[in-house]
Chains A and B, each alone.
Chain A
Amino acid sequence: MRSNLLCVMIAALAVWEAPAAAQEDKGASRRGIVPCVNPWQLPSGCAPAAGKPFNSHDLAGVWTRTAGAGNLGNKVAMTPAGQAALMANKPSFGPRMVPPALGNDPMGKCDPLGLIRNILLEVVDRSFEFVQMPDRVIQFFEWAHQYRTIWTDGRALPNADAEPRWMGYSVGKWEGDTFVVETTGLDARTWLDNLGHPHTEEMRVVERYSRPDRDTLKLSFTITDPKYYSQPYVSDVKTHRINPERAMDEKLETFCVPSEEEVFNKGIRDPAAGLGK
């Protein structure tokens, strides 16, 4: 949101007042060296709260991503079957993008996004929240108010023939200061990212979360899905900042309402692509 905001501000300034733009830019530079009062503010040039007390095994809070890729990238090692499945998906992002009206992105109908895409979608203008309970961790995703449960009571993952779920079935445990979450049973109808990367129901995901200081949450994940991916996909390390002012239900009820999206698709999305009103 802040980067979008910055762009809009730049555009507005370029249009209306060049001299003012020059002053604003100098102001931004000055702000960059002023210590951050609120570490969750974006863009954040301030250092994390080193030395402040925190519990590295407590992930509870609302986290906003500040660094890390929002998709798997364009050079993922795929099998021929995986490549064919990728080509069948017609995204509205990236180098293969088509107008949403001409694509088949499940997001366009408000279908559940699934685990990986929800994690990746929580870009700078959205957040997720962890709530820790004695036997489980709940992760709420802002987009469409979706959530997943990570069981921490020592139970095993279900058998391979278990009914698949949109968000999969997850178990988690602490390995030192890293919370390791393993997920299977993910419904193959979901895309992994905005670029349309597919997966099978055999996909296995391992996420690694750590909290190196009070304000920072690190995440990387590995996807293993040999039918579609010729080698495990290892993500970059994504950085999130805690965002205590941003309670999930404060103004942020970003449901994806199928009936409203249908009205939007008919009223704007389709005719904007030339499909007739």
Chain B
Amino acid sequence: MMKYRVLPSFGWSQKAETILNTPLSKRAGVISLLAGLLLACVPVLAHHGTYASYDPEKLVTLTGTVTEFLWTNPHSQIHFDVKGADGKVVNWGGELHSIAQLLKSGWSKNLIKPGDEVTVTGHPSKAGAPYMVVTSVKLANGKEYFRDAPEQGR
């Protein structure tokens, strides 16, 4: 069994403890607002049939070693090996945006190379296959690159 976290879409995480430690009167409005906004966001994010293939209700975060990074149009892709608790290695595939969209989000052709250690977050395949549509990739240097990030100069 692959070891990874499955997070509800409203972003529950280890940091949920932080939220829980905040008085209810202060956090309830924020949590409601964020949950509502995220529900509203799902149709907006559903471009290119993405959520016909991937589960928008789940997020997985995996750390592994890059085996392939393909910088292509209209979709790029990343493949990486993830070692499970049993020592078994599974090669995961991640769907990425087009080159133009990734450039706008601060990515570049040589950002990721085979052999790099990465932590990848995304929505997993509904079919249960080791694939995801990537929402962010964190590099070994701590820098995180998002699928949709602020555009420079726009």
Contacts and interface: CB of A to CB of B under 8 A. Distances in A.
Interface of A: 1, 3-8, 10-19, 21-22, 25, 41, 91-93, 97-101, 103, 105, 107, 110, 125, 144, 245-246, 251-257, 260-261, 263-264, 267-269, 271-274, 277
A277 B127 CA distance: 13
B41 interface: yes
B66 to A, nearest CB: 14
A254 B74 contact: yes
A260 to B, nearest CB: 4
Residue with the highest number of chain A CB atoms closer than 10 Å, among B27, B70, B147, B148 = B148
Across the A-B interface, give the 3 residue pairs with the lowest CB-CB distance, nearest first. Answer: A92-B49, A274-B127, A14-B11
A269 B129 CA distance: 11
Contact of B93 (A6, A19, A125, A272): A272
Contact of B44 (A4, A19, A110, A256): A4
B146 A8 contact: yes
Q: Which range contains the number of B residues in contact with the other chain?
A: 35 or more
B125 A274 contact: yes
A245 B128 contact: no
Nearest to A10: B37
A5 B135 CA distance: 11
A267 B77 contact: yes
A4 B148 contact: yes
A10 B31 CA distance: 11
Contacts of B129: 271-274
B38 A99 contact: no
B74 A255 contact: yes
